[in-house]
């Protein structure tokens, strides 16, 4: 799939206020500081999503219309962010409200940093997606920041940790925004799902 047009639509504080035009939606979520904005910009166009050095900047459901056909939804990160406990709970409620109730959601892309060993917070989040039968795929980001051997070792460790609770493992993609790798694979996968 080629991205011919990408535009910011609006930000929403809860899923019940999100667009009601029935277009398919693909959500992107991950721990704070996992490189989500950089990935979104690589997939769409430079500057579409605001890249920040401060984790936890995304605090609303941000909608981008792609090719006038589908929405890319940028969700707030989970885990560490410089916000109060109350704000963290409000963000968790917003994320859950979207993931659990949004009928237009076709797939959630869960971003994982493969430069570090598997984190329980990521495994727990994945297991919750499974418990609620929310379709998802994994995106290992920042693949340029480690050697190929270390990258493969950490990804294998992550998938092994998942295999302890999952019979069949989810699809995954390896990306680098700096090297612009993984773009065609992710967009092609989205195209397949829309075309089904």
Q: 135-171: per-residue pLDDT in tens?
A: 999 999 999 998 999 999 999 999 999 999 998 999 9
CA distance 129 to 40: 21
Q: How far are the Cα atoms of 51, 70, 109, 116, 125 from residue 129, in angstroms, in the given order?
A: 26, 22, 11, 22, 6
pLDDT at 57: 57
Asked if residue 82 has pLDDT above 70, the reply is no
Q: How far are the Cα atoms of 70, 96, 142 from residue 191, in angstroms, in the given order?
A: 10, 26, 23
CA distance 87 to 103: 26
- What domains are there in the chain, each with its CATH number? 6-195 (3.40.50.300)
CA distance 79 to 92: 10
The pLDDT confidence band at residue 90, using thresholds 50, 70 and 90, is confident
- What is the overall mean pLDDT for the chain? 90
The pLDDT confidence band at residue 112, using thresholds 50, 70 and 90, is very high
Asked if residue 93 has pLDDT above 60, the reply is yes
3-state secondary structure of 149: helix
Asked if residue 15 has pLDDT above 60, the reply is yes
Nearest Cα to Cα of residue 95 among 42, 59, 52, 48: 59
pTM score: 0.92
Asked if residue 101 has pLDDT above 60, the reply is yes
């Amino acid at each position: 799939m080629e991205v011919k047009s990408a535009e910011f639509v609006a930000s929403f504080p809860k899923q019940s206020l999100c667009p009601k035009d029935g277009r398919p939606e693909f959500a992107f979520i991950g721990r704070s500081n996992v490189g989500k904005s950089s990935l979104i910009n690589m997939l769409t166009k430079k500057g579409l999503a605001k890249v920040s050095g401060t984790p936890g900047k995304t605090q609303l459901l941000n909608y981008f219309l792609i090719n006038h056909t589908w929405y890319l939804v940028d969700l707030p990160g989970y885990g560490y962010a410089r916000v109060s406990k109350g704000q963290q709970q409000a963000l968790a409620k917003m994320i859950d409200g979207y993931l659990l109730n949004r009928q237009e959601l076709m797939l959630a892309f869960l971003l994982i940093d493969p430069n570090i060993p598997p984190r329980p917070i990521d495994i727990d989040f994945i297991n919750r997606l499974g418990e609620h039968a929310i379709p998802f795929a994994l995106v290992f980001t920042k693949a340029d920041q480690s050697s190929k051997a270390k990258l493969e070792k950490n990804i294998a460790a992550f998938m092994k940790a998942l295999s302890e609770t999952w019979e069949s493992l989810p699809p995954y993609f390896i990306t680098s925004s700096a090297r612009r790798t993984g773009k065609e694979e992710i967009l092609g996968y989205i195209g397949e799902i829309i075309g089904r």
